[in-house]
């Protein structure tokens, strides 16, 4: 198979995997945010972080896709093509893992914050550490892009 085909599949996996992951996180967190802000609008700006971190997953995937696209002219060997493919897989997979974490921790954070506002600082750790999974994948993908 042509090396650029592997790289193109990596672009697709990075983009589609990260975008689907972002959508999943937003679909799970946005209704909870809407519910919270309908009763306690003052918490909206604080809890919007769950939506923002969910959207960041798509941005990370797009960044890796752009990096691979910029390298397409120099991807001439099978090894380079496979490296680009695995960069896309690393980013898409890490985004999926982060999305699951954000989707579970985000609504829980919102519920806990409404019931006990002082718990926000501790409870946000689940969302932030879930996002860190995507950042780890982003860093590995950076290193893998040929």
**What contacts 33, CB < 8 A, 6 or more positions away?**
44, 47, 48, 50, 51, 110
At residue 1, the pLDDT reads 85
The domain defined by 3-144 folds into 1.20.120
Q: What is the pLDDT of residues 37-61, one digit of tens each?
A: 999 999 999 999 999 999 999 999 9
User: How is residue 119 written in tokens?
Assistant: 């718990």
- HSE-CB at 62 with a 13 A cutoff on CA atoms is 8
d(CA 77, CA 95): 27
Cα angle 24-53-146, degrees, rounded to a multiple of 5: 90
pTM above 0.85, yes or no: yes
Average pLDDT of adjacent 10-residue blocks, the chain of 146 residues: 95 98 98 95 95 98 98 96 98 98 97 95 96 98 96
- Where in the chain are the domains? 3-144
């Amino acid at each position: 198979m042509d090396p650029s085909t592997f790289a193109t599949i990596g672009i697709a996996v990075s983009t589609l995997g990260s975008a689907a992951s972002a959508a999943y996180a937003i679909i799970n967190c946005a209704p909870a945010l809407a519910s919270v802000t309908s009763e306690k609008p003052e918490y909206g700006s604080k809890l919007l972080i769950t939506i923002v971190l969910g959207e960041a997953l798509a941005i990370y995937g797009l960044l890796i896709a752009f990096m691979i696209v910029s390298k397409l002219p120099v991807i001439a060997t099978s090894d380079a093509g496979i490296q680009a493919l695995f960069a896309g897989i690393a980013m898409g997979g890490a985004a999926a893992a982060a999305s699951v974490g954000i989707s579970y921790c985000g609504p829980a954070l919102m519920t806990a914050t409404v019931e006990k506002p002082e718990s926000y600082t501790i409870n946000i750790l689940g969302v932030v550490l879930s996002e860190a999974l995507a950042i780890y994948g982003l860093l590995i993908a950076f290193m893998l892009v040929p």
